[in-house]
Amino acid sequence: MSEQFRYGVIGTGMMGVEHIMNINHIDGAAVTAYADPNDQSRSNAASVTSEAVGFVDHREMLDSDLVDAVVIVTPNHTHVDVLADVLATDLHVLVEKPLCTTVEDCRLTIERAAGRSAITWVGLEYRYMPPITRLIDEVEKGTVGDLKMLAIREHRFPFLPKVDNWNRFNRNSGGTLVEKCCHYFDLMNHIIGSDPVRVMASGAQDVNHLDEEYDGQRPDILDNAYVIVDYDSGARAMLDLSMFAEATHNQEEIVAVGDRGKVEAFIPEMLIRIGRRGEHYIGQSEQQHVIDPRIKFQGGHHGSSYLEHLDFIASCRSGSAPVVDLDAGLMSVAMGLAAHKSIAEHRVVEVSEVL
């Protein structure tokens, strides 16, 4: 590996450019190449990384000897094939969420990665949002006691336009509860620290994209849902998603409750609130703003992508295990698929059914 950590970015749409801009702010790292078959996407990349070499075909970039690691930021349904090309090399890789759109493709990817010495990392960067990191720390050190309930609310704006409108259809994205909510299922699994057992969900497409049509087809992506997950530890988690709720104060709210107290994280207020039973009562919780002084670029995810890249580079250089591995990526996808199955079939779904 060169002294400078050299990145190649595969897929330079909105999120690809976001990754490039984060990397631009990291000392000792640089984007030296990028690849995208779309002319406008390559032009967008060139506008933020003038010294990098652009490729139409990512396989030519992989053969160029210009990069130490790649970031895959292509449409979800292409991940499995692009990963196959990257995993056949000795390059490190960070693949944006979701890992793949099906359990079968996730398992195939895990098989292909077996035995590699290079790092394979799944981009579930919400773990790195400073208030969420603090909440995780508080749960781990016992502030809430025995964790019983975890609630996650995301009230946000509709899906943004993407190249060729690929994200308007479940067949491309894996469905909203995979595409968007794998972040939250990963947080549930990580914070609760036990295996999800069953999923019950209710959701629909009620407001967004109803008047859109692409090649004679109307979008079929959900824009709201409730999802409840039972864990083998006895804990339970809930997701409350609305994608027509941009008229809100906080986009994300995460609440962990145990037998000794409660911890809440609020984004973008970047607040943490801590209440301890026997010490605090309603309206008396502690409140703190949470910042991470290491963040040099906030980007669209409150600095979490920047922090994720710092850990990714450190893991690649040291050979330590990835913080977010392929198994975590698989489970976050499986839970989203179980939730979609629950909605479609109007029943509780055992996680084992999709695994």
**pLDDT of 205-243, one tens digit each?**
999 999 999 999 999 999 999 999 999 999 999 999 999
CA separation for the pair 36, 239 (Å, rounded)? 34
Mind spelling out the 3-state secondary structure of the chain?
Answer: CCCCEEEEEECCCHHHHHHHHHHHCCCCEEEEEEECCCHHHHHHHHHHCCCCEEECCHHHHHCCCCCCEEEECCCHHHHHHHHHHHHCCCCEEEEECCCCCCHHHHHHHHHHHCCCCCCEEEECHHHHCHHHHHHHHHHHCCCCCCEEEEEEEEECCCCCCCHHHHHHCHHHHCCHHHHCCHHHHHHHHHHHCCCEEEEEEEEECCCCCCCCCECCECCCCCCEEEEEEEECCCCEEEEEEECCCCCCCCCEEEEEEECCEEEEEEECCCEEEEEEECCECCCCCEEEECCCCCCCCCHHHCCHHHHHHHHHHHHHHHCCCCCCCHHHHHHHHHHHHHHHHHHHHCCCEEHHHHC
Which CATH number applies to 5-123+307-322: 3.40.50.1370, 3.40.50.720, 3.90.1150.10, 3.30.200.20? 3.40.50.720
pLDDT at residue 3 in the model: 87
Tens-digit pLDDT profile for residues 64-117 = 999 999 999 999 999 999 999 999 999 999 999 999 999 999 999 999 999 999
CA separation for the pair 121, 102 (Å, rounded)? 18
pLDDT at residue 1 in the model: 54
Q: Is the pLDDT of residue 2 over 90?
A: no
Using 50, 70 and 90 to split pLDDT, how confident is the model at 300? Answer: very high
pLDDT at residue 50 in the model: 85
Domain residue spans of the chain? 5-123+307-322, 127-301+331-354
CA separation for the pair 219, 319 (Å, rounded)? 43
Read off the amino acid at residue 120.
T
CATH of domain 127-301+331-354: 3.30.360.10
Q: Is the pLDDT of residue 337 over 70?
A: yes
Mean pLDDT of 3-12: 96
CA 281 to chain centroid, in Å, comes to: 35
Mean pLDDT of 38-56: 96
Instruction: Provide, rounded to the nearest whole percent, the portion of the chain with pLDDT above 90.
Output: 99
pLDDT at residue 93 in the model: 98
Instruction: Provide, rounded to the nearest whole percent, the portion of the chain with pLDDT above 70.
Output: 99
Mean pLDDT of 173-198: 98
pLDDT at residue 332 in the model: 98
Mean pLDDT of 144-157: 98
CA separation for the pair 60, 66 (Å, rounded)? 10
Q: Identical fold at 5-123+307-322 and 127-301+331-354?
A: no
CA separation for the pair 265, 271 (Å, rounded)? 6
Tens-digit pLDDT profile for residues 251-292 = 999 999 999 999 999 999 999 999 999 999 999 999 999 999
CA separation for the pair 40, 49 (Å, rounded)? 14
